[in-house]
Structure 1
């Protein structure tokens, strides 16, 4: 069983545009990203939530916010846009914009994004994706992502990691599957056991058997290399 416990080195954001402000009424901030090895900035709640989803998406290899501007024409005017994110998946590179669905409908943004999408593909991207709060708030992806990112970035006691890893190793001798409840019970870590299990999921030591199931006590987890066969 291979478990990645080494802390990632986090550096400053290399975004082309700074969006974090401390003005009243502006929801901005940073998320420490293991995948991009930087502190990623956001300028809305939706962008922060999207970062959480990227951090916990196994198909996402790397991502960055505020990438190089994209130039395109809608047949009438020329535009230079800085999209919200650039993502590298196993299938290639993508540009992503995150907007409230109400704004997309009100200003018919799907039309102009069609022109931007064509320019993105011509520039070598696989696609330009437009995400709205409708997709981001779909349960249980976001609640799981919030739990995992929080468990990975907050302080943790290595002694709890060791106790849980010992429990996982014992279970792995006979089975490749376990549950959150079983790990919490056998590890005897008490109230902190849930966070310890979530941290192991966040760093790849455990894998949810079904990503659509909320990570409660009944969630089934896979142990990489487990089974004893």
Structure 2
């Protein structure tokens, strides 16, 4: 549960809720950049769950004791955990901001936790950001059941689809895009989505290992 309320009526910023199948509940965001980052987490196969505003940290910044709340805590499939600050790169040019974030980095290192700063250079990189929006639009409907998975495997063994066009020809556009949105069928998020795009029948979507 977040340690502070993210979405409030008095806020003058863009804030809202992000639908999350991984968490089973809508997840609050307090900037457009953070909303885009949550889309990346939602569709990254290595991410198990994630939580916003996850903890209250108390740390020294210079000679002053300061409170700090990370933007997101991510639990990965491999059992590791990462804490993230989502920040526009321009803000990192501010001396006070960089001083505080260095203190935060040192604080997490002392407690043997991994801390990352995610900027728009990662989060809004194209065409990945556009691909995430497209896939989130189709991320709906029921999860793939064991019985339906067996049915799909039989079809894939028979027709061996290699591209989105092949998948559409076998399942129809609505079901093909639903499976892509669910991440049951994967694509390389770093490449533009087109009907000629290669698909992965297992392992979900592909992208660089941003979280190492």
User: Shorter-normalised TM-score: what interval?
Assistant: 0.7 to 0.9
1:68 and 2:46 correspond: no
Task: Give how far 1:167 is off.
Answer: 7.1
* 1:171 alignment partner in structure 2: 156
Change (3 A) 1:216 1:169: farther
* 1:102 alignment partner in structure 2: 90
Partners of 1:201 and 1:84 lie apart in 2 by 28
Q: Residues 30 and 39 of structure 1 are in contact (CA less than 8 Å); yes or no, is this contact kept in structure 2?
A: yes
Q: Residues 140 and 213 of structure 1 are in contact (CA less than 8 Å); yes or no, is this contact kept in structure 2?
A: yes
Structure 1 regions of 5+ residues with no counterpart?
A: 1-13
Q: Residues 71 and 81 of structure 1 are in contact (CA less than 8 Å); yes or no, is this contact kept in structure 2?
A: yes
Residue aligned with 1:207, SS: coil
Change (3 A) 1:183 1:110: same
Count of matched residue positions in the alignment of Structure 1 and Structure 2: 199
Residue aligned with 2:199, SS: strand
1:119 and 2:103 correspond: no
Task: Give how far 1:170 is off.
Answer: 2.2
Q: Residues 28 and 41 of structure 1 are in contact (CA less than 8 Å); yes or no, is this contact kept in structure 2?
A: yes
Structure 2 regions of 5+ residues with no counterpart?
A: 204-212
Q: Following TM superposition, where does structure 1 have runs of at least 4 consecutive aligned residues deviating by more than 3 angstroms? A: 22-25, 165-169
1:180 and 2:164 correspond: yes
* 1:9 alignment partner in structure 2: none
Q: Residues 96 and 129 of structure 1 are in contact (CA less than 8 Å); yes or no, is this contact kept in structure 2?
A: yes
Q: Residues 7 and 15 of structure 2 are in contact (CA less than 8 Å); yes or no, is this contact kept in structure 1?
A: yes
Q: Residues 71 and 84 of structure 2 are in contact (CA less than 8 Å); yes or no, is this contact kept in structure 1?
A: yes
The 5 Å alignment of 1:82-97 reads: 82-89=69-76, 90=78, 92-97=80-85
* 1:196 alignment partner in structure 2: 175
Task: Give how far 1:73 is off.
Answer: 0.8
Task: Give how far 1:145 is off.
Answer: 1.4
Task: Give how far 1:148 is off.
Answer: 1.7
Q: Residues 86 and 118 of structure 2 are in contact (CA less than 8 Å); yes or no, is this contact kept in structure 1?
A: yes
Q: Residues 138 and 182 of structure 2 are in contact (CA less than 8 Å); yes or no, is this contact kept in structure 1?
A: no
Task: Give how far 1:54 is off.
Answer: 0.4
- If the length of structure 2 is used for normalisation, what is the TM-score? 0.81
Task: Give how far 1:157 is off.
Answer: 9.2
- If the length of structure 1 is used for normalisation, what is the TM-score? 0.75
Deviations 1:124-163 (A, max 9, x none): 42x211111122111122112112222114xx599xxxx9
* 2:207 alignment partner in structure 1: none
1:150 and 2:137 correspond: yes
